[in-house]
Structure 1
Amino acid sequence: MSTASDLAPNTLQKNRRAKPSYLKMVVEKKVLPRLLADHANIKKLKLENITQLPRHVSAHEISQFSILLLTTSYNECRDYALRLCHSGCSINEIYYSLAVDAARNLEYLWEVDACTFGSTTIAIGHLQAILRELNPLFHTQADLHYQTKGHAFAFAMPHSQHTLGVFLLAENLIQHGWNVLAAPKISKAEILDTVKGAFFHFVAISISTFKHWDELEKMIPLIRSQSLNPQLHIMVGGALFRAQPQLLDQSSADSCTSDLDEAIKTAASLVK
């Protein structure tokens, strides 16, 4: 998975003292004018005309897309993603690289007060809607089997604000042959009722903030006790582990990760 981006946390977090005012200046005076000038030439594109070539999304394109999500309409954001598909980026590259790194950019810009919570929420909403629109094309790349690889249950911690990670994980598990129940918004009682009423090989929990940590640690043994599968594998992932990687070794879950590729590999190792 590509993580390169000139706005992404893995580069900008090296300087956590970066002033929001300076970041805003860069966005307003350098990134946005160049982006809008380029975007003026974008034509309406259609899914059926897309050809797949081995091209990767660049760091510059990820940054452009991130700013588009914050500053323009849904249709303009969608057309930009479609133009990347037309230029040779595979649909997997859009899901695995563009969407993931753009979400990280938005998360970081919010953390340093370069954009508001409201604008970030709208941007994430645009991103999820774009991925849903591309969903038919994404699933044409699916790893098809006569029998599913396994059954997974993916959800975000109750009261989570942003649930893009659950959507991305669920879509990628489906593409790799899994039967997935995804619940971005769900209560604790519904979680326990779900694992008590259906058999799952794999439960994936997304956590984005430390305020949900204690509740997560209380919930994990309850899920195990209610599960129909005595060998249930519980994995925890999400933005919290990017912000506080030391927590990766402190969870009572079977595995922890902040990386989508790693989550897919973990799932694949569970059912042969």
Structure 2
Amino acid sequence: MAIRRERAFRDRSSLERNPGGVQRGSRWRDDLAQVVEAEIIPRLMLAHRSETRPPRLSARRTGTADIDRLTALMLAQQDRDALAVVRELIDDGMALDEVLIGLMAPTARYIGRLWEEDACDFVQVTTAMARLRRLVHDLETLCLEPRPVDPASRRVLLVPAPGETHTFGLTLAAHFFAEAGWEVVTSFDTNLSDALERLRAEWFDVIGLSLSCDVHVDRLIAAVPALRRASRNRDLHLIVGGPAFHGRPDRIRLVGADASVDDAREAPEIARSLLDLRIRAC
């Protein structure tokens, strides 16, 4: 066990390239990712938006040693003061965006891979996730209440493509849209029924869909016309993102989208550009 654990810590890059393995490991890795995407990331996003000072660039980037250190704290037999460690990183120049994108999510995914490799057991993983949740709660105490959304702000609906299970990039896009002043609604319903209901009942300027693999491209192609028909906004703009579109500009037209996004940080500007084009055309 000790040998496997040491090897797993040293060989993270190989695990990233070969994330297969036994069925139980894949299942637990997916469960961990869902906890990060559905609970940890959104709560950190709210905390970040609540800051009274404007967001800043991170002067301190996450390194392998930071992820190793937080992982060790989460898996330790005795409870440790992880908040103090994270506060040290923030005091050292690490922005909350970097805590969000570069530290906590990779730590949770890495713990899942360690379990897959038999480097830690079920109890350790369960305890680690509970500690991560508590750490998020403690981080929220460092921030003020979220600012109210401007009623005049543009609205975006972000949803996974039909059948899509990986929503981390979508959640990051929600973060950056909110930072840019948009009103953001996110749905993680992979059959799109919730998105269709929202489009019928509410006004959205833009809808964004995320797709990570080629398997569900045909389902997305079939879904796009239904989304447009359901929309109260006849001029709804549709943007897509995710690995399925990286290096494949032909797929933008194929699925019926107006634009694609390679980097979540660029999503608000791309969406704004689409709306500005519509205004100029009028």
TM-score normalized by the length of structure 2: 0.58
Give 5+ residue unaligned stretches, structure 1. Answer: 1-5, 21-46
What is the match of residue 90 of structure 1?
95
Cα deviation 1:59-112 (Å, max 9, x = unaligned): 335543685598569987665444321322122332354457x38x948x96xx
Q: 1:207 to 1:177 in 2, by over 3 A?
A: same
Quote how far apart the aligned CAs of 1:151 are.
0.4
What is the match of residue 247 of structure 1?
248
What is the 5 A alignment of 1:41-120?
55-61=59-65, 63-64=67-68, 67=71, 71=75, 80-98=85-103, 102=106, 106=109
Match of 2:154 among 146, 150, 156: 150
What is the match of residue 183 of structure 2?
179
Cα deviation 1:139-183 (Å, max 9, x = unaligned): 8797x8855430011122344433333332223322221111111
What is the match of residue 213 of structure 1?
217
**Greater shift in the superposed pair: 148-157 or 78-87:** 78-87
Q: CA RMSD in A?
A: 4.8
Q: 1:158 to 1:150 in 2, by over 3 A?
A: same
- Residues 158 and 188 of structure 1 are in contact (CA less than 8 Å); yes or no, is this contact kept in structure 2? yes
Residues in 2 aligned to 1:128 and 1:211: alpha-carbon distance in whole angstroms: 33
Aligned amino acid, residue 224 of structure 1: R
**Greater shift in the superposed pair: 67-76 or 56-65:** 67-76
Instruction: Count how many residue pairs are aligned between Structure 1 and Structure 2.
Output: 225
Q: 1:256 to 1:146 in 2, by over 3 A?
A: closer
Residues in 1 aligned to 2:153 and 2:205: alpha-carbon distance in whole angstroms: 10
Q: 1:126 to 1:211 in 2, by over 3 A?
A: farther
Quote how far apart the aligned CAs of 1:255 are.
1.7
Q: 1:191 to 1:129 in 2, by over 3 A?
A: farther
Match of 2:171 among 163, 167, 173: 167
Quote how far apart the aligned CAs of 1:200 are.
0.6
Give 1 or 2 for the bigger CA radius of gyration: 2
Report the secondary structure of 1:250's partner residue. helix
Return the structure number with greater relative CO, CA threshold 8 A, min gap 6: 2
Match of 1:256 among 244, 260, 267: 260
Cα deviation 1:209-266 (Å, max 9, x = unaligned): 332221111111211122122221211122x33xx73434313322222311122322
Q: 1:175 to 1:63 in 2, by over 3 A?
A: same
State the identity %: 20
Give 5+ residue unaligned stretches, structure 2. Answer: 1-9, 22-47, 277-282
